[in-house]
DNA sequence: TGCATACATGCGATATCATGCATGTATGCA
DNA sequence: TGCATACATGCATGATATCGCATGTATGCA
């Protein structure tokens, strides 16, 4: 089940980081699930960084993970009143520098590389993969 | 005006503290304004602590302040889409230990001490006033 | 004009967090 | 069975947050 007694402040703490907001907002706006390499290629942040942020969001109860072989698909936990309202808040956040719009656009293009609706490739931006460049 | 360019993560950071959540939730549920001494007597936290948290919420754009002589009334900034949705999320947060319910009850009782709708007394819990006990 | 009072804040101690680098784990394919 | 790869994490570091204590500022009243 979801609730492992997550304190309210832990939920907001999970969103108190620009990268984590980008992750949640991306998944909220597209209503999609994504594996880590897709997030890396969309947000253009290092693999280890997003891995940790995704973990933080999972521990806060915002994300659920589904393992499929080597890939792990992350999606928003939905159906919980206060979480659903948080997503709504995120979706109407101002996007002054167009960062969120770019994330969504990059993500949509990355989704085109799926085969049969599943990710079959890894990180397409080599300098963001483990080990750096 | 309101917006002094508050970054999204600063809004969530402002709510990433249990005391600040209590403040915002109290004002959201009661749709009231409150001065600092009323908050002290309701939340039963030291004056200097709430003063700082209120300041943090103001800097994040969640609270506005109206000075009336020695008293300063704080209320939620409303009418901004993502803020209004955040308040809605706060209002449906679980209250496992009954903390929020107690805050609201204490606040309602404290409001009975107003004269003409205005606070005319100071902190009624001496050990929480400046200087400690 | 001086005092009581509503609220603000400088300081130091402690704790938590995000990041980069490097490396570890686990899964599937040849 | 070994290698490539998708993802995870230990460690050190710098940044930031909270708190208690004490004190400072500003307003109104006697």
State the pLDDT at residue A132. Answer: 52
CATH match for B8-113 among 1.10.10.10, 3.40.1260.10, 1.20.1250.20, 3.10.20.810:
1.10.10.10
In chain A, what are the domain boundaries? 8-112
- Using left for φ > 0, alpha for ψ between -120 and 50, and beta otherwise, residue A56 falls in alpha
From first CA to last CA, the distance across chain A in angstroms is: 40
**Using alpha carbons only, what angle is made at residue B91 by residues B86 and B92, rounded to the nearest 5 degrees?**
100
pLDDT band at B130 (very low <50, low <70, confident <90, very high): confident
Distance CA A65 to C1' C20 in A? 26
Q: Does B8 touch chain A (CB under 8 A)?
A: yes
State the pLDDT at residue B2. Answer: 46
Distance from the Cα of A84 to chain B's closest Cα (Å) equals 8
Nearest to B9 among A7, A16, A94 (CB): A16
Residue to test with chain B: of A8, A15, A25, most B Cβ within 10 A = A8
- Is the domain spanning A8-112 CATH 1.20.1250.20? The answer is no
Distance from the Cα of B14 to chain A's closest Cα (Å) equals 8
State the pLDDT at residue A130. Answer: 76
Q: Residue B117 pLDDT > 60, yes or no?
A: yes
C-alpha to C-alpha distance for A25 and A31, rounded to whole angstroms: 10
Number of Cβ atoms within 10 Å of the Cβ of A32: 16
The CB-side HSE value for B65 (13 A sphere, CA atoms) comes to: 16
Distance CA B3 to C1' C7 in A? 25
State the pLDDT at residue B131. Answer: 60
DSSP element (H, E) containing A107: helix A99-111
C-alpha to C-alpha distance for B75 and B61, rounded to whole angstroms: 11
Q: Residue B82 pLDDT > 60, yes or no?
A: yes
Q: Residue B16 pLDDT > 70, yes or no?
A: yes
Distance CA B67 to C1' D27 in A? 11
Residues A73, B80 contacting (CB under 8 angstroms): no
List of residues 6+ apart from A125 with CB closer than 8 A: A40, A41, A44
State the pLDDT at residue B103. Answer: 98
pLDDT band at B4 (very low <50, low <70, confident <90, very high): low
User: For the purposes of burial, counting CB atoms within 10 Å of the CB of A131, is it exposed (0-12), middle (13-18) or buried (19 or more)?
Assistant: exposed
Q: Mean pLDDT over residues B39-57, rounded?
A: 98
Q: Residue B66 pLDDT > 80, yes or no?
A: yes
Nucleotide with the nearest C1' to A133 CA: C21
- Using left for φ > 0, alpha for ψ between -120 and 50, and beta otherwise, residue A14 falls in alpha
C-alpha to C-alpha distance for B58 and B72, rounded to whole angstroms: 12
List of residues 6+ apart from B18 with CB closer than 8 A: A7, A8, A9
Per-residue pLDDT 10s for chain A (133 aa) are: 545 589 999 999 999 999 999 999 999 999 999 999 999 999 999 999 999 999 999 999 999 999 999 999 999 999 999 999 999 999 999 998 999 999 999 999 999 999 999 999 999 999 999 765 4
């Amino acid at each position: 089940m979801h609730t492992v007694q997550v304190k309210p402040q832990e939920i907001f703490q999970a969103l108190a980081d620009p990268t984590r907001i980008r992750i949640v907002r991306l998944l909220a706006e597209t209503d999609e699930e994504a594996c880590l390499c897709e997030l890396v290629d969309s947000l253009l942040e290092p693999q280890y960084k997003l891995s940790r942020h995704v973990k933080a969001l999972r521990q806060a109860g915002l994300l659920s993970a589904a393992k499929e072989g080597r890939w792990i698909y992350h999606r928003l936990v939905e159906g919980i009143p206060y979480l659903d309202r948080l997503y709504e808040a995120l979706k109407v956040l101002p996007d002054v520098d167009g960062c969120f719009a770019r994330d969504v656009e990059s993500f949509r293009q990355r989704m085109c590389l799926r085969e049969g609706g599943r990710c079959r490739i890894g990180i397409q931006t080599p300098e963001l993969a483990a080990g750096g460049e």
